[in-house]
Amino acid sequence: MKKTVFKVGKKPYQLKYGFGAIRLLTASWGLKTMAQVGGKINEVVKSLQGSDSDIDIEAIGSLVDIVLAGIYNQDKELTGSLDPDAVATSLLEDPAQLVPVLQLLAESMPQPKAAPSPKKPGK
């Protein structure tokens, strides 16, 4: 498993996504289903596309939630200890940090298994 870190100020925090992080996001966003969480993440990502300098404030808040969910899922003892404003500042000062975060999040999302190929009769 590859390690992804996000620096808040100068301190690096390791991220972990999966069901635990999804549960944290559903609580933060007042959602109930994984599909709703996936839809919200897609909205946030779409809002970033083509945006060079003007980022929607709600999208920044959602990105902060995504980063914090990954940090808190990795180290539950940190839950609630990080300042969301410091995370937002780190995002705005170094937006390149977001690329590996979103890649890790996408890779961790459950994917439906492909249905097995039907066997042909008589073979």
Domain positions in the chain are 8-108
DSSP symbols for 91-122: HHH-GGGHHHHHHHHHHHS--PPPPPPPPPTT
In whole angstroms, give the CA distance from residue 64 to residue 44: 11
Nearest to 88 by CA among 80, 78, 98: 98
Total-model pTM:
0.85
- Tens-level pLDDT at each residue, the chain (123 residues): 568 999 999 999 999 999 999 999 999 999 999 899 999 999 998 888 866 667 788 999 999 999 999 999 999 999 999 999 999 999 999 999 999 999 999 888 777 666 666 666 665
**Token duo for residue 101:** 């975060």
